[in-house]
Amino acid sequence: MQKKSLDEIAIAFTYWRKGELVNCKYWDAKKRFWQEKDTEKILYGLDDIEDASDIIIVEGEMDRLAMEEAGFRNCVSVPDGAPPSVSKKEVPAEEQDKKYQYLWNCKEYFKKDRRYQYLWNCKEYFKKASRIILATDGDPRGQALAEELSRRLGKERCWRVKWPEKNDLYHFNDANEVLMILGPSVLKDVIDNAELYPIHGLFNFRDFFDEIDQYYHQNIVYEFGGDSTYQSSGEKL
């Protein structure tokens, strides 16, 4: 959609929930963003994840559209971009978590509880997400966003992507950049190769592969104690 503002054409990103228009965000040629006033904040593309077990979250509307070009409709974008850094405070209560209110407004799309499996057997009436892929930007702000999202959604079901290398010094930053330069097949591979989100104290087998391999081939020698010999003092017990 488009909207004309002060003799300039702006792209309109419409936010829908259950077929109802909830919000609209605009982006003009000078990359200025604004939203409709007094509207509810939700995730962009929300209706496309209504029955999805795998959900991809990106940082911007263009990244969400890039994912669709790569064949992923089960993708949503946050409405407000990324924070400057990870908060050192505990996650606030729902009613106080203003920055991430859009998550709470969409919380039914992320519900999951194995104790009530009979509910999921009626999946047409309930929503679930068993795997959430965080494909936020590769810069520090994007990584901060991924951490904040994982804290609220549960790190145990979050995955993260690794953007391809651009050169010896830099990586590609987001889904849209990968799509434009490397194409949809590479973007699809990035999502297909997403890794488990790191959890403090939880390690992957591959983290120890080199050490185990060396131990198997007896290339590592462990010392189980020190030298117990001593010089005699000439005294006898």
Identity of the residue numbered 171: H
Looking at per-residue pLDDT, the higher value among 55 and 112 belongs to 55
- Cα–Cα distance measured from residue 174 to residue 59, given in angstroms and rounded to the nearest whole number: 8
Show the domain range for 195. 41-216
| Model pLDDT, residue 2 | 52
60 and 105 inside one domain: yes
228 belongs to a structural domain: no
Cβ-contact 77, 96 below 8 angstroms: no
Q: Would you state the structure tokens that stand for residue 58, as one six-digit string?
A: 């990106």
225 belongs to a structural domain: no
Name the band, by pLDDT with cuts 50, 70 and 90, for residue 20.
very high
**pLDDT > 90: what percent of the chain?**
35
**What's the predicted TM-score (pTM) here?**
0.73
Identity of the residue numbered 235: E
φ, ψ (nearest 5 deg) of residue 212:
-65, -40
80 and 121 inside one domain: yes
The pLDDT tens digits of the residues spanning 60-99 come to 999 999 999 999 999 999 888 777 777 777 777 767 777 7
Looking at per-residue pLDDT, the higher value among 186 and 115 belongs to 186
Cβ-contact 45, 121 below 8 angstroms: no
The pLDDT tens digits of the residues spanning 208-232 come to 667 776 776 766 655 555 555 545 4
Cβ-contact 141, 149 below 8 angstroms: no
* Overall number of domains in the chain: 2
| Model pLDDT, residue 165 | 94
Q: Which of 13-17, 96-100, 107-111, 149-153 has the highest mean pLDDT?
A: 13-17
Name the band, by pLDDT with cuts 50, 70 and 90, for residue 6.
low
Number of other residues whose CB lies within 10 A of the CB of residue 132 = 24
208 and 184 inside one domain: yes
The domain that holds 144 is classified in CATH as 3.40.1360.10
**pLDDT greater than 70 at residue 3:** no
Largest alpha-carbon pair distance within the chain?
Answer: 105
Name the band, by pLDDT with cuts 50, 70 and 90, for residue 16.
very high
CB neighbour list of residue 198: distance below 8 Å, 6 or more residues apart: 155, 160
Give 157: exposed, middle or buried? Use CB within 10 Å, 0-12, 13-18, 19+.
Answer: middle
9 and 53 inside one domain: no
The pLDDT tens digits of the residues spanning 157-176 come to 899 999 999 999 899 999 99
Read off the pLDDT of each residue in 119-140 and give the average, rounded to a whole number. 67
Question: 3-state DSSP: the chain helix, strand, coil percent, rounded to 5?
Answer: 35, 20, 50
Please give the DSSP secondary-structure letter assigned to residue 165: B
Q: Which of 9-13, 27-31, 85-89, 94-98 has the lowest mean pLDDT?
A: 94-98
Which spans in 169-208 are helix H?
A: 175-182, 184-192
Degrees, nearest 5: CA angle 31-70-15: 50
**pLDDT greater than 90 at residue 21:** yes
Name the band, by pLDDT with cuts 50, 70 and 90, for residue 42.
confident
| Model pLDDT, residue 72 | 96
Name the band, by pLDDT with cuts 50, 70 and 90, for residue 234.
very low
224 belongs to a structural domain: no
235 belongs to a structural domain: no
| Model pLDDT, residue 9 | 83
